[in-house]
């Protein structure tokens, strides 16, 4: 497995790789959810590239960029075992030189929920993904369903800007108690970790209510009630949305996605579940 640090070096290596090429963009501190993305990319492509880049532009001033967990050597060992061909891990200055001044802004789908809670976050995500797509020129790029609004933003950007790749969405990988895997789970204290499966409980209740034919409003209220019954959990938002537009939906006849964000101390976790599947 080769490790490439420079943008020009990556482009030069790319020219020699057999296609199709699968890209798995990550911020490192990998877990089984990332490994699942790599496995899927391995099964579908001749060359698999994983980027490890903690992207400073998607963190707000009061967010955790400085303390975001990093474990490069461990990540590389996991990626090699999963069959990765190359890791692209540039320095921040290689991606954002002093002269940097161009941004990708996806409107509409970014206006609510994560976009409202984290101003500027999706501008940073869309910009870095566009840069990674330009540098790696992948046939396919792989994203986890756990970050459902991020998926909707990337899909919208790829469609709107006629980008020449396919976006593959891979189901969320969960711990045995239902907690969605996330690098941020490592911040949780033992007490908060024990409380965190409340997100999954709220989502499974939502899906059961959908199957019983209950309406969107009743489901939203019940999800909030389930979260509030957990003393260590602070509800940020709960919503039932169209999974492509992220607009609130009242009709459960078409595609619908239950989403929520919950704080445990300083750690904020998100999760989601399709209600129509």
The site that binds ligand PAF (CB under 6 A) totals a number of residues, namely: 10
Report the alpha-carbon distance of residue 145 to residue 255 in Å, rounded. 15
Report the residue number, 132 or 195, with the smaller CB distance to ligand PAF: 132
Which one, 133 or 227, has the nearer CB to ligand PAF? 133
Q: Which residues are known catalytic residues?
A: 34
Between the CA atoms of 5, 8, 13 and 16, what dihedral angle is there, to the nearest 10 degrees?
170
Q: C-alpha 184: how far from its chain's center?
A: 12
**8 A C-beta contact, residue 256 and residue 241:** yes
26 binds ligand PAF (CB under 6 A): yes
Nearest CA to 1 among 44, 73, 49? 49
**Which residues, at least 6 apart from 27, have a Cβ–Cβ distance to it below 8 Å?**
52, 53, 54, 55, 68, 183
Q: What minimum distance in Å lies between the beta carbon of 194 and ligand PAF?
A: 25
- For position 239 contacting ligand PAF by CB under 6 A, the verdict is no
Is there binding between residue 128 and ligand PAF (CB under 6 A)? yes
Within positions 53 to 72, which residues make up the interface with ligand PAF, using CB under 6 A? 55, 58
- Residue 160 and residue 166: Cα distance in Å, rounded? 13
Nearer Cβ to ligand PAF (25/243): 25
Q: Which is nearer to ligand PAF, 155 or 204 (CB)?
A: 155
- Among positions 145-164, residues that touch ligand PAF (CB under 6 A) are 147, 150
Q: How far is the CB of 211 from ligand PAF (least distance, A)?
A: 30
Within 27-56, which residues bind ligand PAF (CB under 6 A)?
27, 55
Cα–Cα distance, 2 to 249 (Å, whole number):
46
Smallest separation (angstroms) from ligand PAF to the CB of 170? 12
Joined together, the tokens standing for residue 60 give 């707000």
Q: Which residues bind ligand PAF (CB under 6 A)?
A: 25-27, 55, 58, 125, 128-129, 147, 150
């Amino acid at each position: 497995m080769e490790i490439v640090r420079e943008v020009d070096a990556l482009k030069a290596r790319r020219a020699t790789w057999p296609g199709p090429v699968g890209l798995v963009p990550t911020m490192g501190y990998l877990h089984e959810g990332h490994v699942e993305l790599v496995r899927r990319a391995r099964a579908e492509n001749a060359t698999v590239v994983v980027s490890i880049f903690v992207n400073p532009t998607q963190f707000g001033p009061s967010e955790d960029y400085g303390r975001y967990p990093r474990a490069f050597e461990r990540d590389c060992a996991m990626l090699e075992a999963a069959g990765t061909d190359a890791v692209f891990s540039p320095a921040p200055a290689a991606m954002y030189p002093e002269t940097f001044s161009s941004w990708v802004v996806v409107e509409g789908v970014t206006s609510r929920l994560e976009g409202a809670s984290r101003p500027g976050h999706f501008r940073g995500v869309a910009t870095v993904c566009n840069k990674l797509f330009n540098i790696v020129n992948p046939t396919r790029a792989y994203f986890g369903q756990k970050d459902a609004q991020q998926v909707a933003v990337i899909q919208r950007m790829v469609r709107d800007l006629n980008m020449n790749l396919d976006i593959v969405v891979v189901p969320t990988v969960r711990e045995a108690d239902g907690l969605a895997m996330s690098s941020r789970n490592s911040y949780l204290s033992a007490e908060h970790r024990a409380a965190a499966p409340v997100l999954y409980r709220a989502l499974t209740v939502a899906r059961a209510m959908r199957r019983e034919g209950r309406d969107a409003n009743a489901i939203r209220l019940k999800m909030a009630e389930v979260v509030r019954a957990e003393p260590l959990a602070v509800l940020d938002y709960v919503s039932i949305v169209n999974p492509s537009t992220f607009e609130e939906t009242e009709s459960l006849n078409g595609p619908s996605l239950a989403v929520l964000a919950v704080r445990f101390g300083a750690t904020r976790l998100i999760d989601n579940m399709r209600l129509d599947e």
